[in-house]
Amino acid sequence: MKALIVGAKGQLGRGLQATAPANAVLTCVGSDELDITRPEAVQAFVAQEKPDLLLNAAAYTAVDKAEQEEELALAINGTAVGTLASAAHAVGARFVHVSTDFVFDGLSGVPYAPDAPTGPLSAYGRTKLSGEQLAGPDALIVRTAWVYAPTGGNFVRTMLRLMGERPEVRVVADQIGTPTYAPGLAAALWTMAGAGVTGLYHYTDSGAASWYDFAVAIQEEGLAAGLLSQAARIVPIPTSDYPTPAKRPHYSVLDKATTYAALGGPTPHWRANLRIMIDAIRAEG
């Protein structure tokens, strides 16, 4: 199986490479090698490679910056998805696209099902919803949330750094979601794509947490692993005390029942995957 990974240098892109099945022959490109906002370049590249599977891990993810750069975010998160889907269709390739919990308004009191009404609060959410709509009826579209990995910029690595530098960190406690370990998401994408699954699905780790809960767990695991030498004071704060240009959903837990059916079982709990990630950082020294 020939697989083309677009956005290969990000957290998910690296996870896709690390978890690829043994029979996958990979072509991996980053934004410096393929500008997905240039339709002619995308069409020519995909026509040349002729993959059996095209996995789109590319995205504009600067949530706050997108409020001032919505046109650029839309070009990457929206328009380019349609281009990639069209190019994949032209060579008979299956298309896999990754979206986000930010397509929801956060007003639900129960986990969002894939067919729940959307209502993005931010430019980022709007552009990602556009990408879902342009991915095409034959695509596998997977929404996820709070993604982190041993490398790259993410909440876990930021918290470990701040906790090592400061006696106190302040963390939002009234936004509820679910952390997602990028390699686990990547492995699930391979499994679902390999089984020919199409349609809209949700994938995160199991359970739910606030950012504050997540930070507390990060410190506990960091101390246990020896990545932190002493505990910082973690102060829970409301969103109103940490204003940002982009509005975030207060509740964005995703219902994964259909995903569990497709995968043959539930995803690992977020706390278990956090420990795996911490151990990976420790092993790297």
Q: Which residue numbers are catalytic?
A: 124
Q: Would you give the distance in Å from CA 246 to the centre of its chain?
A: 18
**Which residue in this structure is represented by tokens 């020519």?**
44
d(CA 166, CA 211): 18
Reported residue count of the chain is: 285
Q: For 21-80, give the secondary structure using H, E and C.
A: CCCCEEEEECCCCCCCCCHHHHHHHHHHHCCCEEEECCCCCCCCHHHCCHHHHHHHHHHH
d(CA 171, CA 101): 20
3-state secondary structure of 236: strand
**Which residue in this structure is represented by tokens 């083309």?**
4
